[in-house]
Structure 1
C-alpha cells in the first residue's frame, strides 16, 4: 500500500508542475492533473487552488476574487484575479503575470478594479478594466504599501504603509556598520513570527483623480501604534463613512509591556476636514474592531469583546446610532459569536456568520426589533457573506471541499455554486464519510464529535484510529478545510479520525467555551478521552492501534496525554505544543493570553488558580512517558517558541522513548511553504504507519 501511494504521489507531483517560462513571466495556473488513484496524497492536497477575497461589484452583478496556486517544484505561490457573474456563468481570469496580484477591490463607480502589484519593483496600487484590460500603475509611493480602499465618492484612497520610528542598532552606533545585534528596553520586541523591525503600520490618506494617487497624509504621524493591528489585521479594520468625511480605524494605542498584557483595542474616528481624532469606543475594554458604516451613514456596526485581556471572549455585534451616540449590543441574548458583518442596501439589516454546533452559518439581524434569524443550516462553514441584490454571495468550505463561492437565497437558505475552482480534482477523489455524534462526558454533558472514515470504508475491518486534539485553545472543530490538519488526508491514509469539540470551544455557548481557562489539564482532557473511549467501542476500531495528534493547544494536549493516558495510545504527534508552562510564560509574546488562560505568573504563590495551572504542565509528567512521540516545531514560532519542542524531544530521548524531531527553520506556528507542507505530511504518516500499522 505504501509503494502504491508513493507512485500516486510521484505521478501527481510530475503532473502538477511546469518548467518556468522565461523565469515565470506569466502566472502559474496549472492544468487539472489526471490522477492515478481516487485517494488523496499530499501532492494532490497542495495542488488545490485556494480561493479568497470575494467582493461583490457596486451594481451587484459580478463577484471579484482571487485564486492562489502553488508551484511545488518552485516552492512558490502564484495568485490571480478573477470575476464571475452573480447570475451564474463562466469565471474570467483577469490577470496573468508573475506579480502575485493581491487585495483586488472595485472602484466605487464599478468602472475599474484596483489591486496591489509589485510589477514595478515595489508594491503599488494598480488598476484595470473589469475585463482585465488596460492595466496600469496608479500610485508611485516611496517604499511598498499594503492594503488600500477608495473613498465612496472616488476622490481619495487610504493605503497602509510601514513607517520607521524607532532607532535600530546602527542608528545608535553608526560607526559600527557591521554590528549585528538588537538592544531592547521593553517586551513585545517580537510578535507571532517576526522580530519588531522598528516600524509601525500607519494609515495614509491620499488624493485620487484621473487614475492617479497623489501625496499621502499619515493620520498616525509620529505615533508608535499599528493600524491595522498586527499580526493579522487588514483593511477590514478600517472603513470610510458614506460621505467620505470620516475614516474609522481600529487601533490598540499601547506599546511594550502595556500592549502585551492588554486586548483593549478601540475604534477611532478621524475627521478628514479638521484632522481631529475621536475615540469612539472609549470605555469599552476588550477588542473593538472591524467597523462597518451603514449605507445611509446613520449607523456604525462593529465586533466587540467585553473583557480586557480575554482574547476568546464572546464576539458581540454592536451597533451605534451616530446621531444620538447610543450603542446597542444586539447579541446580548444570542449565546454565540458574530463575525464578518455586512449591511444590506437599505441599512435595515446586517448579515453575519456565527459558529453553531461545529458549523459556521449565516445569520441576519433585523435592526428594527433586534431579531436575529438563522438563514443556513448544513454540514459546512460559511466564511464570508455579502448581499448581491436579492441574494447573498458567500464563501463556503467543508471537511470535504476547499473554499468556493455560492449564491445563497436569504429566504430559504439554499445555495448554488458560483465557482468550481477545484471541481476537476474533486471529481477524481473519493472522500471519506463525515459523521456527527453527540457523546456524554464524565460530568454528564453532551459533547459534539466528528468521526471521519476512510474512503471505501469496510465496517468488517479493523482500522487504526486517531484522536485529533484541537488547538486554540478556543477554536471550534468545525467544517474547516485545512492544508495541514486535513481530515480527508488522514482518512485517505486509512485512519479513522475522532475529532471532539471538547470543553473550551465556541459554538456551544459561552459557558462551554470559558470552562477551559485555568483548567488546562482538567475537564477538557477528560472530554478528549471520552471521545476516543466511546468511539473505540465500535468493532471497526482497533484498540491496539490508537494514536493522538494535535498542534498548539492540541500539541500541549498530546504532551499531557503522553504522561496521563493509562496505556491507551501507541503513538503521539505534537506540533508546536506547550511543554513547560513556566518557560512558556516568560518566552511567549502576547502576555494577555497566558495571564488569562493560565491565571498569571508562576512566581505568584498566592494565586491559587495560577499555581493549579502550572501543575498541569506536561513536563511534570515526563516520568510517565512510555509511548513513541514525534515532535514538530518551527523556528519562527514566537507564540510557542521552538525550545518547547526541543525540550519535549530531548526529554523523550533521555527517557529512552522512541522519538523524532521535525524542525522547520523558516516556518512559524504553521507550515506555509509547499515543499515543507508535503514533507510534513510524509513524516507525519511515516511515523503513524510505523507505530500503528506495522
Structure 2
C-alpha cells in the first residue's frame, strides 16, 4: 500500500509543481491529492486504480540514439481532466527523469537541433504552440506564436522549416451570414458531413509550412490555401499522415479532396506531394490526378506516407476499394524516379497497421494483427519481399522507432497497459526477446493480482476454427461456479487482440469475479481476408452464430454457472447485444449495450459517414430489389423487441454523431414498454467513447452494479 501511495502522490505533484502560476499549481495539487488515498482491497482492480495509472503517449529517440523522450498522461478524477508530462531516459532505460512538472499540457516530444533540444507542444501561452527545452527540462522557450492551436508538427531534416497542422475555417457560421444575430444558435445545413464524430463541422485541419530560423517561424504557407479539404483527415489523422522528404524539399500529405455528399460516401483518399520551393502539389496515387481507364488500385484509403532514408522511394498504407473502410490495408511502395508502384505485403494476409523504414532503405518493419496478437514483422525488399515475424507472445506492439542496433516500441496486453520496450534487430531462428525500459505503473501492478488469460480454439457452426480469449478471476477456483460474460467486440472489424482498455478492461471485470469470454467472431482481422469480410452485409448472420458458439462452448465447463450468463458490448458490440436480446433463447440473464445500433433504418440515415452504412448494410433500406440490404434491415434489432425478456442497461453519449443517442433511448423505452427491467445511462458531454474521468468512474460503477444485481445471488 505504501508503494502505491508514494507513486500516486508523485503523480499528484507532477501536476502541481513549478510551471504555470502558483494558483494553478495549487489547484491541481488539491484536485489530485485523492490519488494518494487509493485503497486497493484484496489485490483486485478498481476503477480508481485504473484512473490512477499514468498512460504513456508519444515516444521519440534522440538523433545519436542514446536517449528516449516520451510523454505520460495523468488524470484527476476530482478535477475531471488530464495533464501530460514529458520524461527522458537513456536508451537502456536507465536515468529515467521527469523533465516537466507543471499544470500545462505538454506532449509530442521531438528531438531537434542535433539532439541538443527537445521540441514539444504546450498550451502555457493560452493556445497550443511549439516550444523547446533542453533535455533536462531547462531553458524553456516558445518557438511559435501562430494565431490558433497547433495540433501536430514536424521539423524538416535540415532543420530550416517547420511543418505543422492547424484548423482553418471552411464553413460560414450563422453569425457570418447574419451579423445582427450574434447570439443565434441555429446551424444552417446545406450538404452532408455537417457533423463528424463529435463536432458540428466548421473547420478543417490544414498542413502549413513555415521557415524556421532556430528561434521563430515566418513565411507561413497553407499548403491547401483556399481549399475546403482536410489534411490530415478527421477524426483520427495526425502528423503521421504527413512526411518530409530527406532533402527537405518535398512534403507528402494525405488528403481526400471531397466535400459534402461526395465526402460522405467515399473513402478515396490519396497521397499528394507538395513542392516546398516552387509551391503546388501533385497526386501520387492517380495519373493526372484521375482514376485510370482500366483499373484503379488506389480507389480506397491511401494514408500515412513515409520517404525512404535514401530518398529513392515513398511508401504508404493503401486500401483497394472505395467505400470500404475496413478493406485490407496493404503496404505500397513507389519508385520516385519512375513513378512505378507495387505492393509488398502480400505475404501477410492481414492489415499493415503501422510501418517504419529501416535505415538502409532495403527493408521495412511493420506491425499487424494475426490470431489475436499484434506483432512486429520485417519485409526484406532486397530479398523478394521476404516476410519475417520478429516477435511472439500474448502481446500487442505499437509505435515503432529505431534506436542503434535495437528497436523501441510500446507494448501492452490484457494484463498490463502500455510500457516501452527495446528489441534487438539482429534476429535468427528465435523471436526477439524484449527488454522492458519503463515501469510507469509497476507499483500499482505490484499491488494487484491479475486473472489468467487463456486462448481457446473452438469449432464454429460452419466447421471453422475460432480463437476465443477466456479471462478468469484472480484466485480462480475451478471447484466454484462463476457468473460469466460474453464480450461482443465493436468496429465491427476491430480485432479482439491483446488490447488494454481503461473502460472495457477485462481485468477489472475478472476482479469482480466474472469469467469473460471474448471471441474473435466472424468479421475480425487477423484470420485472413475471407474471415474479416464475412460480416459485411450480414450483421445478423454467421457472426451471431459465432457468439453463441463461444458462450455455449465455455458454458460447458463445470465452473461456469449457466444460470448466470451476461452479455456486454459497445458500438457493433452494442448492436450485437440488442440483436442477441431478441434471439438468445434465454441464455442470458443480463445485457449491457453501449453506443449500439438499435434501429438500422434510422442508423442508415443518421450516421455521418455514409460509406460505412452503404458498405456494411449493403445499401439503402428503400432499395427493395437489393437482397443484401433487405436482409440487413430485416435483421434490425428493433424488429425483435417482442422477444425481449431479459434486463438490459443502455449507455450512450449525446455527442456521439457516429451512432446517435436516440438509439439507446429508443431501446430503453422499448424495454420499459415491454415490461422488461431496464436502465439508461446517458452522457450529454461524451461521444462514442467515455473520456472524462468522473464519467469513466460512473460508467464502471453503473456497469458492475447492473451485472451484480442480475447475475449474483443476493447475500
> TM-score, length-normalised on structure 2?
0.93
Q: State the alpha-carbon separation in 2 of the partners of residues 10 and 347 from structure 1.
A: 48
Give CA deviations for 1:297-329 in whole Å, capped at 9, x if unaligned.
Answer: 011111000000000000101111111211110
Aligned to 1:280: 284
- Which of the numbers 471, 481, 486 marks the counterpart of 1:467? 486
- Which of the numbers 417, 421, 434 marks the counterpart of 1:406? 421
Contact 1:13/1:72 (8 A) holds in 2: no
SS in 1 for 2:586: coil
Aligned to 1:295: 309
Q: State the alpha-carbon separation in 1 of the partners of residues 45 and 657 from structure 2.
A: 32
Contact 2:302/2:316 (8 A) holds in 1: yes
The gaps in structure 2 that reach 5 residues or longer are 292-297
Q: CA deviation at 1:279?
A: 0.3
Q: State the alpha-carbon separation in 2 of the partners of residues 552 and 34 from structure 1.
A: 32
- Which of the numbers 381, 399, 407 marks the counterpart of 1:392? 407
Contact 2:423/2:434 (8 A) holds in 1: yes
Aligned to 1:373: 388
Contact 1:12/1:35 (8 A) holds in 2: no
The answer to whether 1:205 aligns with 2:209 is yes
- Which of the numbers 36, 44, 48 marks the counterpart of 2:49? 44
Aligned to 2:557: 538
SS in 1 for 2:52: coil
Contact 2:8/2:36 (8 A) holds in 1: no
SS in 2 for 1:37: helix
Aligned to 2:548: 529
Q: State the alpha-carbon separation in 1 of the partners of residues 536 and 8 from structure 2.
A: 44
The answer to whether 1:673 aligns with 2:687 is no
Count of residues in Structure 1 that have an aligned counterpart in Structure 2:
685
Contact 1:12/1:43 (8 A) holds in 2: no
Aligned to 1:561: 580
SS in 2 for 1:435: strand
Q: CA deviation at 1:43?
A: 0.5
Structure 1 residues 512 and 163, CA, compared in 2 at 3 Å: closer, same or farther?
Answer: same
**After alignment, is 634-643 or 169-178 more displaced?**
169-178
Contact 2:5/2:36 (8 A) holds in 1: no
The answer to whether 1:238 aligns with 2:252 is no
Contact 1:11/1:35 (8 A) holds in 2: no
The answer to whether 1:140 aligns with 2:145 is yes
Aligned to 1:479: 498
Contact 1:40/1:429 (8 A) holds in 2: yes
The answer to whether 1:149 aligns with 2:168 is no
The gaps in structure 1 that reach 5 residues or longer are 1-8
Q: CA deviation at 1:61?
A: 1.4
Aligned to 1:221: 225
Q: State the alpha-carbon separation in 1 of the partners of residues 516 and 253 from structure 2.
A: 42
Contact 1:146/1:159 (8 A) holds in 2: yes
The answer to whether 1:118 aligns with 2:123 is yes
Give CA deviations for 1:144-202 in whole Å, capped at 9, x if unaligned.
Answer: 221111000000001111112321111111122222111111010000011112x2211
- Which of the numbers 260, 266, 269 marks the counterpart of 1:262? 266
Q: State the alpha-carbon separation in 2 of the partners of residues 418 and 395 from structure 1.
A: 10
SS in 2 for 1:186: coil
Q: State the alpha-carbon separation in 2 of the partners of residues 246 and 489 from structure 1.
A: 48
- Which of the numbers 570, 575, 590 marks the counterpart of 2:589? 570
Contact 1:45/1:483 (8 A) holds in 2: yes
Give CA deviations for 1:408-435 in whole Å, capped at 9, x if unaligned.
Answer: 1231411000100010100110000000
Q: CA deviation at 1:143?
A: 2.0
The answer to whether 1:76 aligns with 2:76 is no
- Which of the numbers 180, 191, 198 marks the counterpart of 2:185? 180
Q: CA deviation at 1:23?
A: 4.0
The answer to whether 1:507 aligns with 2:519 is no
Q: CA deviation at 1:16?
A: 8.1
Q: CA deviation at 1:215?
A: 3.3
Q: State the alpha-carbon separation in 1 of the partners of residues 620 and 54 from structure 2.
A: 44
Q: State the alpha-carbon separation in 2 of the partners of residues 690 and 303 from structure 1.
A: 47
**After alignment, is 28-37 or 573-582 more displaced?**
28-37
Contact 1:379/1:398 (8 A) holds in 2: yes
Q: CA deviation at 1:108?
A: 5.5
Structure 1 residues 17 and 322, CA, compared in 2 at 3 Å: closer, same or farther?
Answer: closer
SS in 2 for 1:645: helix
Q: CA deviation at 1:103?
A: 1.7
Q: State the alpha-carbon separation in 1 of the partners of residues 466 and 78 from structure 2.
A: 43
Q: State the alpha-carbon separation in 2 of the partners of residues 394 and 579 from structure 1.
A: 39
Aligned to 1:363: 377
The answer to whether 1:495 aligns with 2:514 is yes
Aligned to 2:166: 161
Q: CA deviation at 1:345?
A: 1.3
Q: State the alpha-carbon separation in 2 of the partners of residues 15 and 320 from structure 1.
A: 49
Contact 2:246/2:309 (8 A) holds in 1: yes
Structure 1 residues 44 and 262, CA, compared in 2 at 3 Å: closer, same or farther?
Answer: same
Counterparts of residues 26-41 of structure 1 (less than 5 Å): 35-41=40-46
Q: State the alpha-carbon separation in 2 of the partners of residues 229 and 446 from structure 1.
A: 37
Contact 1:56/1:63 (8 A) holds in 2: yes
Counterparts of residues 80-95 of structure 1 (less than 5 Å): 80-95=85-100
Contact 2:5/2:38 (8 A) holds in 1: no
Q: CA deviation at 1:87?
A: 2.2
SS in 1 for 2:612: helix
**After alignment, is 19-28 or 126-135 more displaced?**
19-28
Q: State the alpha-carbon separation in 2 of the partners of residues 262 and 108 from structure 1.
A: 41
Give CA deviations for 1:615-638 in whole Å, capped at 9, x if unaligned.
Answer: 110001000000000000000001
Q: State the alpha-carbon separation in 2 of the partners of residues 324 and 375 from structure 1.
A: 32
Q: State the alpha-carbon separation in 2 of the partners of residues 344 and 131 from structure 1.
A: 29
> TM-score, length-normalised on structure 1?
0.96
Q: CA deviation at 1:249?
A: 0.3
RMSD: 1.9
**After alignment, is 34-43 or 293-302 more displaced?**
34-43
Q: CA deviation at 1:32?
A: 9.8
Contact 1:391/1:408 (8 A) holds in 2: yes
Q: State the alpha-carbon separation in 1 of the partners of residues 6 and 47 from structure 2.
A: 12
SS in 2 for 1:144: coil
Give CA deviations for 1:103-141 in whole Å, capped at 9, x if unaligned.
Answer: 221116211111111111121110011121101101111
